[in-house]
Amino acid sequence: MNGVKWRELNPVARRLIATRFLRSVAQGALAVDFTLYLRARHWTAAEVGVLLMAAGLIGAGLGLIVGSLSDRVGRRTFLLIYEVGLILGTLAILVDPAVGVLATVAILFGFGRGANGASGPFAPAEQAWLAQSVPGERRGLIFSLNAGLQFWGMGLGSLLAAGLIHIVPGAAGARQYLPVFWLTLVVAVVNWIQIYTLTEVKPTAKRGDPSSAEAPTAEKALVHQENRALLLLTVVNMINALGVGLVAPLLPYWFNVRFGVGPDAIGPVYALTFFLTGISSWFIGHLSEQVGLVRAIILPRLLGVLLLVLLPFMPSFVWAAVLYLVRSIVNRGSAGARQAFSVNLVRDQRRGFASSLNAASWSLPNALGPALGGWLIARGSLAIPFLVAAGLQLAYVVLFPTVLGRYDTKRQVPLSSAH
């Protein structure tokens, strides 16, 4: 880690990274199996898309509330609430998988959205807590390490998804997918214990000298600068998120419809993809310290746009899987760098808000994507969602450095550098 070793990290940072890794294992299994579980329960593509849309919309709204409140009252409580809710919700599915129960739990906890270990609408509190525990100059690298481990966890979960359906002897249909919910339950219990034993140092606002008449004016100006940066990030993120949401959450369903494959084929592909993306994330983390966060985010995504255009025209599952794998390596490997960029735009006492706004700008349009993508797939349009998504992501590649390049830590001192 370029001089930063695991044991040298803040204990809180180590624990948060560990809990997110475990959570990503369960989410990796859900990313493969949950939409297939719904299909086994006779949900249509449009219904699955609407469910994923509702999960994104409600999660974004709750995330804004949680992020802002966590700046005031702390982050630990919200993560404990998340794990308790996940435990109770998963138990409810195992006891009574009625439509209402499935919809409620999936909406609140993002089942099937492949969230890379994020704690649903409580993720802004978790991300702000991690940022508070990491030196500003190392966030690009350490957030990329965190993202890399999440991808590895998702990869392990994807492998488990292929095997979990065979655990219950003689199980068929929807029943064969129940072990993935037991995995989710166990991980939630373990993570609750890990978070409960942590001690939180709540963030404190850093203000100027109260005796100085210029302090309120300087504070107001700094807040204005931070808000402008966050607004620009929000607009650019929304364009990218809509493009991603059109295809990413529905890919297992699309692979099944297009090529007739199930978890046995999709799971290993997802696993290998996540493992290699984890390595890519570490590489991009180191790259960000050499060329800046903006270039590290944008350069690989150009290739990702081209691959997204080609993917739906592949003649076989093998070729489609190869393109999906390479695209994920170059496209999703910048996740940690993007998170680090967003928290660097503000000071510590506003990072919960910044993280929640960043998450909302991603979740809201990303939530609309599955509904539109599912509607198109249900009508036999298996290529159009990919082409529209590619156009939106190309716009993101152009706009991100154009409007946000000035905030790159390699070009000038970031707004939060003194904090």
Distance CA 17, CA 319 (A): 34
φ/ψ bin of 292: left (φ > 0), alpha (ψ from -120 to 50), beta (otherwise): left
Q: Compute and round to an integer the Cα radius of gyration of the chain.
A: 21
Distance CA 168, CA 211 (A): 70
Q: What is the pTM of this model?
A: 0.73
Chain centroid, CA 307 distance in Å: 21
* Residue ranges of domains in the chain, CATH in brackets: 7-199+218-407 (1.20.1250.20)
Q: Distances in Å between the alpha carbon of 63 and those of 57, 104, 108, 353, 355?
A: 10, 16, 11, 9, 9
Distance CA 229, CA 223 (A): 10
pLDDT at res. 256? 87
Paired tokens of 50: 């609407």
From first to last of its 419 residues, the chain has per-residue pLDDT tens of: 444 577 778 889 999 999 999 999 998 888 888 888 888 888 887 788 788 778 877 877 888 888 888 888 888 999 999 999 999 999 999 998 888 898 889 888 878 665 666 777 888 888 888 888 887 777 777 888 888 888 888 888 888 887 888 887 777 788 888 899 999 999 999 999 999 999 887 766 554 444 444 567 777 888 888 888 888 989 998 998 888 888 887 888 889 888 999 878 887 888 888 888 888 888 888 787 777 788 888 888 888 999 999 999 999 999 999 999 999 888 888 878 887 888 788 777 777 778 788 778 877 787 778 778 878 877 777 888 899 899 999 999 999 999 888 887 654 443 444 34
Cβ atoms of residues 59 and 362 within 8 Å:
no
- Evaluate the CA torsion angle 39, 43, 48, 51 in order and state its sign: negative
DSSP per position, 334-377 = GHHHHHHHHHTTS-GGGHHHHHHHHHHHHHHHHHHHHHHHHHHH
Which amino acid is residue 179, in one-letter code?
Answer: P
Please compute, for residue 66, the number of CA atoms within 13 A of its CA located in the half-sphere on the CB side: 30
φ/ψ bin of 270: left (φ > 0), alpha (ψ from -120 to 50), beta (otherwise): alpha
Which amino acid is residue 286, in one-letter code?
Answer: H
How far is it between the farthest Cα atoms of the chain? 76
Chain centroid, CA 80 distance in Å: 19
| Residues belonging to the chain | 419
